[in-house]
A and B are shown apart, each in its own frame.
Chain A
Amino acid sequence: MKARVHVTLKPGVLDPQGKAIEHALDTLGFSGIQEARQGKLIELNLAESDPETARAQVEEMCRKLLANTVIENYAIELEA
């Protein structure tokens, strides 16, 4: 089973990389971008095949390592 973990900065936390992307897109002439936020994607290949168990495992990985919950949110996507 595959898991995709999206880690993003919480709303309100300054994202200078997102800001830089926003400015670069604006320079390229893409107008109307109200905000760009940058995050990261972590792909995991799991031996586990039960979605519920897999989700619980990945949740724990997120809390213990993959996301710093002081500043980041995470979202988990599972794919059989």
Chain B
Amino acid sequence: MDFTYTSEQESLRDSVRRFVEREYGWEERFRIIRSADGVAPGHWATFAELGWLGAGLSEEAGGFGGGAIENALIAEELGRALVTEPFNAHVMATQLLAALPVDTASDLTAAIVMGEQRIIPALQEPAGRGDWRQVEARAIGTALTGTKSLVEGAMSADRLIVSARSKDGIALYLVDPHAEGVTLSPYRTLDNRRVADIHFADAPVTLLANGAVAETAIETAIDHGLLTLCGEALGIMDTALWATRDYLKVRKQFGTALGNFQALQHRMADMLIETEMTRSILLSALGAMEGDDPLPRTAAVSAAKVQASTGGLFVASQAIQLHGGIGVTEELNISHHYRRLYVIARQLGDVDLHLARFADATDQAAA
């Protein structure tokens, strides 16, 4: 076993880190989240230019030869600065297309990786509570009706990939968000991301895949999305942890640095343990992604999501607590670390859902 990054992966990480340091300072992020779009114009083009949009995609699928590790690594670095660009949605879109054996898919992938097209998956519905397997949207022929929720990046999408029930089971459709019958209702989530609910009323759609092929592709895309979220969570946890450590070293109360209080030292130690457990289980799940057997992969990914969710909320809530009053202010980044981790803990399914998914996959693997 070898848990060190390759030199290519190292340089990818450095490139994201440099971008974040140069282009995404705290003041700059504030300006971005208060703007109408919630993302900065031009950043996505930079992502494409620097090769990040294809870094986590195999060469056969039109990428630059990487995989889930590269995506998690990019997400971890973006997480450190709470970058609001919908990188996670991008990863799901490209992995979804890569899992589909149709020509349209590879043409689209090329455009996405170059940053020429923005394609966004819309796979969940309000009643599903993050469970992408609950699909009520319905397609009759090439007309789709239903509602998809919490679609990140919807406002800047050139195309949507939407799941819906068809006469052949769950199917995936390519949809033009500007077509008649498609209505976007944008809103802001707690973490200052811009998302939309999308309502379809007999909207014209193009079939991409249906049946087992579609369902497998969705599961694959979701697993990639989950790992990207875990990577992002790890970056946020690590940042919040060390910022809190630095604060305890300098902040004095009752004549001594807060870091001298044993109760607080133990709390920091627990925060470090949760962070390292998250890092470890993420690496284990990234390893499982390389296997051919879907059950261990499912179990490992859900396990990582559970740990990243509970560990992330623990670290972020304790970071607030240890900062005291300023921890709950809008001005300080700590409150935003919490808000993002709060959302990540529920995105693509909450802890309950992933505990059940882990248990089901483990049972099936043992049977």
| Binding between chains A and B | no
